[in-house]
Amino acid sequence: MCKFTTRSALIVLMFSACYPAAAETREKPNILFIAIDDLNDWVEPLAGHPQTLTPNLDKFAAGAVNFTRNYCTSPGCNPSRSTLMTGYHTYTSGMYSNYQDWRKVPKLSRAKTLGEYFRDHGYYSAGAGKIYHYDQVAPRTWDDYYPSQTENMPEEYLPENNPVNMPEFKYMYGMFDWCALPFGDENTADYKSVSYIKSQLAESHEKPFFLAAGIYRPHLPWYVPKKYFDRFPLEQIRLPEVLDNDVDDLGERAKELIRRGGNYHAHVVKADKWKEAVRGYLASIAFADAMVGELLAALDSSRYADNTIVVIWSDHGWQLGEKKHWRKFALWENVIRTVLMMKAPPGTPAMPKGSARGKVVTEPTSLLDIYPTLVDLAGLPPRPDLDGTSLRPLLAAGGRSLDRGIITTYDFADYSVRYRNWHYINYVDGSEELYDLNKDPNEWHNLAGSGEFGATKDRLKRMLPTSAVPLPESSLLELEEHHVPPVMSREYYFSKERREWLKRFEVVGTNPGQACILHFRGASARFSDLRRQACTR
């Protein structure tokens, strides 16, 4: 990565005996770490929707290892991202909910973050866009950040009179909306983040680098340039497959997760907006894929093309009406499954032949595995304290299985275990679900009540954590009226206080006179009101 004249090379040779560390440093691989927000399996390499268009992710998968059954630690941006970046699971740290400040969770506040650990071992670390949850930034992770160490996300464009397309309903997340922007990629916030990373790839770096690009789409609002909407004619849109009465075999806790937040499904169906919403999500995914393409093309044409490890991941999945549920915040496969692909070039210290090309790994893995995998591949001192496992055996051609159960939590005391073809869910109220994904990929038939699968269920149940670190109250954010207070104990779950709070979400049916549209304050993207222009429906 450094250009040497003959003379300077001679000087290095002369001093190399005195400075072996310098020679070793030059052998360390660079890392390009690409995060995509709220992206489910609707990408071509995971084939979750037949109409999705993700040529760049598809091309990358052909030369990389595609972990097709990878899971988040928790289906919310904040716990998912902060556990990934520190390497500790929710139930070993106490970081369970979006309504916590991860920096006030004692174990995570003391943790060496991923970028920080690489900095400590001779790396230059920089990033742009959403890696941490909005304003919960961690400057110790980075040498430099765009737009800044305190504002991690560039300003988003906000159309006038939003929401543009989704009729408001009580307690609706204010950004639950979509529209075709009247300008090109270059005016979007994501493009600005991507441009910063591209400029970093164009520079000459003396140290190996850890570069983190946080792409915000397809997170709501689905405002992306018109050309992406044009790729998905509305009349041709295919809705997710659903089963009538799918929710009938679910317990009370699951039904609460479906209804909460004002009952999105009832409102979307009543307003006849289901196809439009699916289109908005597909358009946003196509846009995010284009941003990935920009980054990968810049890497390929840079001097770092042959010595950079690339990791592409999303922080959790999303539902668009399956089980009458929208958004995240649940434990079904569509919600906890994420994108994870990795590519290690030949010459990587721990993997001289590089990772396999076009390999598909179907055994369950976790976003928590990224940290120990990168430490392992880069040859940094191992971190046996981390909760994940290096995926090196799975990255190699052939390679051995890790054969693990992968745990995901929601709030405190809702658990999911993915093991081989099985998915077991154990909720705080004691209700359970069991699915055989080989026979029932849509999770329509809950087998938990069937005696036939008792032994399987018990086996998966034994994989659950036996003790979980409580949610530290000191880490809670101030709650707003539309928030659902996180479950902090089983006692609290069944308490009268909680039942009273939840009554506000029992509202069904639109009532424009009472519509109360809520925007997250202090914990969302920043929006620019400088260039308000019309955007199309």
Q: Which residues are catalytic?
A: 77, 133
Scanning the structure block, which residue is given the tokens 């904040």?
78
In this structure, the dihedral spanned by the alpha carbons of residues 191, 70, 463 and 455, taken in order and rounded to 10 degrees, is 140
Q: Which of 116, 168, 246, 333 binds Ca ion (CB under 5 A)?
A: 246
Which span sits near Ca ion by CB under 5 A: 49-57, 247-255, 272-280, 498-506?
247-255
Which conformational region is residue 161 in: left (phi greater than 0), alpha (psi within -120 to 50 degrees), or beta? Answer: left
Measured from the CB atom, the residue of 65 and 77 that comes closer to Ca ion is 77
Q: Which is nearer to Ca ion, 218 or 345 (CB)?
A: 218
Residue whose beta carbon is closest to Ca ion: 77
CA angle 480, 517, 499 (to 5 degrees): 45
CB distance 178 to 276 below 8 Å: yes
Distance CA 111, CA 426 (A): 29
Between 303 and 526, name the residue whose CB sits nearer to Ca ion. 526
Instruction: Choose among 480, 504, 39, 94: nearest CA to 292.
Output: 39
Q: Which helix (H) or strand (E) holds 424?
A: strand 422-426
Nearest distance from residue 246's CB to Ca ion, in Å? 4
Whole-angstrom distance, CA of residue 203 vs CA of residue 206: 10
- CA of 229: how far to CAs of 43, 68, 77, 195, 318, in Å? 16, 27, 25, 23, 19
Say whether residue 249 binds Ca ion (CB under 5 A): yes
DSSP-assigned letter for residue 442: T
Beta strand ranges found along 101-221 (DSSP E): 124-129, 144-146, 156-157, 178-181, 209-215
Q: How many residues bind Ca ion (CB under 5 A)?
A: 7
Q: How far is the CB of 469 from Ca ion (least distance, A)?
A: 23
Cβ nearer to Ca ion, comparing 37 with 41? 37
Task: Output 444 or 527, the one with its CB closest to Ca ion.
Answer: 444
Pick the closer one to Ca ion by CB: 37 or 177.
37
Integer Cα distance of 80 and 65 in angstroms: 22
Residue 77 vs 487, nearer CB to Ca ion: 77
In the complex, what is the shortest distance from the CB of residue 255 to Ca ion, in angstroms, rounded to a whole number?
11
Coil, helix or strand at residue 528 = strand
Minimum separation from the CB atom of position 81 to Ca ion (A): 8
Looking only at residues 441 through 480 of this chain, which bind Ca ion when binding is defined by CB under 5 A?
444
Binding mask 67-96 for Ca ion (x = CB under 5 A): ----------x-------------------
* Structure letter (DSSP) for residue 401: -
Q: How far is the CB of 444 from Ca ion (least distance, A)?
A: 5
Strand-pairing partners, residue 426, are 415, 432
Who's near 202: CB < 8 A, 6+ residues apart?
A: 298, 302
Q: How far is the CB of 349 from Ca ion (least distance, A)?
A: 32
User: How far is Cα 82 from Cα 368, in angstroms, rounded to an integer?
Assistant: 10
Q: How many other β-carbons are positioned within 10 Å of the β-carbon of residue 161?
A: 8
How far is the C-alpha of 339 from the C-alpha of 46, rounded, in Å? Answer: 8
Quick one: 258 or 295, whose CB is closer to Ca ion?
258
Q: In what order do the strands lie in the sheet with 406-410?
A: 406-410, 414-419, 422-426, 432-436
Task: Give the nearest distance from C-beta 83 to Ca ion in angstroms.
Answer: 13
138-157 positions binding Ca ion, by CB under 5 A: none
Q: How far apart are CA 424 and CA 458, in angstroms?
A: 10
CA gap 395, 341 in Å, rounded: 10
Q: What minimum distance in Å lies between the beta carbon of 471 and Ca ion?
A: 20
- Smallest separation (angstroms) from Ca ion to the CB of 340: 14
- With vertex at residue 350, the alpha carbon angle to CA 296 and CA 132, rounded to the nearest 5 degrees, is 50
Q: Is 333 in the site for Ca ion (CB under 5 A)?
A: no
Alpha-carbon gap, residue 519 to 373, rounded angstroms: 37
Residues of span 406-445 touching Ca ion by CB under 5 A? 444
In this complex, which beta carbon is closest to Ca ion, that of residue 246 or of residue 322? 246
Our CB check for Ca ion shows the closer of 162 and 446 to be 446
Q: Report in angstroms how near the CB of residue 361 gets to Ca ion at its nearest.
A: 23
What the block records as the tokens of 259 is: 């209804």
| 37 makes contact with Ca ion (CB under 5 A) | yes
| Interaction mask 293-322, Ca ion, x per CB under 5 A | ----------------------x-------
Interface pick for Ca ion out of 38, 44, 168, 322 (rule CB under 5 A): 38
Task: Give the separation between CA 199 and CA 298, rounded to whole angstroms.
Answer: 9
3-state secondary structure of 472: coil
The residue ranges that bind Ca ion (CB under 5 A) are 37-38, 77, 246, 249, 315, 444
